[in-house]
Amino acid sequence: QVQLVESGGGVVQPGRSLRLSCAGSGFTFSTYGMHWVRQVPGTGLEWVAVILYDGSEKYYADSVKGRFTISRDNSKNTLFLQMNSLRVEDTAIYYCAKDRGFCSGGTCYVRNWFDSWGQGTLVTVSS
């Protein structure tokens, strides 16, 4: 079955960087768009970013645009989130999520809803 395992969270000072990873298994990783979604403890969910199956397109929430970069290595079935210039308000549980996409005519598409999620990794930004 689909398994997504995040890693790389921890405590970091404001202004510093952190890189999250998400290892996927149980599905053909290279044919699905992938997302990062975060949850500030005690509050709701916020979509962070998406990357298409081949990395050709990426979209971000305004709150992280210019500071975070989503990327993937399909040879290693791994998704990444490079987080720079971290702020206290970036403190959250970060989930990676698989898109319920589909492939047709040699191209794969995203549907932009999430059919599998990891258990999350906690990022705490604090001085």
Partner 1 sequence: DIQMTQSPSTLSASVGDRVTITCRASQSISAWLAWYQLKPGKAPKLLISKASTLEGGVPSRFSGSGSGTDFTLTISSLQPDDFATYYCQHYNNYPLTFGGGTKVEIK
Positions that interact with partner 1 (CB under 8 A): 4, 35, 39, 44-47, 50, 59, 61-62, 95, 97, 100, 111-120
DSSP-assigned letter for residue 1: -
Cβ 100 to partner 1 shortest distance, Å: 7
DSSP character at residue 110: -
Give whichever of 16 and 65 is closer to partner 1, judged by the CB atom: 65
Q: Which residues contact 107 (CB under 8 A, 6 or more apart)?
A: none
Shortest distance, position 13 Cβ to partner 1, whole Å: 27
The residue (of 64 and 83) whose beta carbon lies closer to partner 1 is: 64
Please say whether the beta carbons of 49 and 58 come within 8 A: yes
